[in-house]
Amino acid sequence: MRIGDRYSVSRASSKANHVGFCASGTMEVKTADDARATVHGGDSYTIPPGHDAWIVGDEAFVGIEFSHDAGSTPRSCHPSDR
């Protein structure tokens, strides 16, 4: 998963569960119960369904996902995709 600068992962909360490793960049995550977490380069992550996420800073977020819900599609996101 590559998400460009200040790109919101979802306009509505994501229904997918994500388990992965952040290779670079920083992403902020807000869960359905309003808990927040920040994922930095070098961090592993588990993000439950019902979340929104966005990029913090100018560096693209590059994540390697080990597990995701069936039916969700890996994607590459870049600011020019908006």
- Residue 20 belongs to a domain with what CATH number? 2.60.120
If you average pLDDT over every residue of the chain, what do you get?
76
Predicted pLDDT of residue 18: 87
Report the amino acid identity of residue 28: E
Q: Which of 77, 28, 75, 32 is nearest to 55 (CA)?
A: 28
At residue 32, what are phi and psi to the nearest 5 degrees? -60, -30
Say what the pLDDT of residue 80 is.
41
> b/e string for 28-45 if b means 16 or more Cβ within 10 A?
ebebeeeeeeebeeeeeb
The whole-model pTM stands at: 0.69
Q: What is the span of the domain harbouring residue 61?
A: 2-81
> What's the pLDDT score for residue 58?
87
Query: What is the distance in angstroms between the CA of the first residue and the CA of the last residue of the chain?
Result: 16
Number of domains the chain is built from: 1
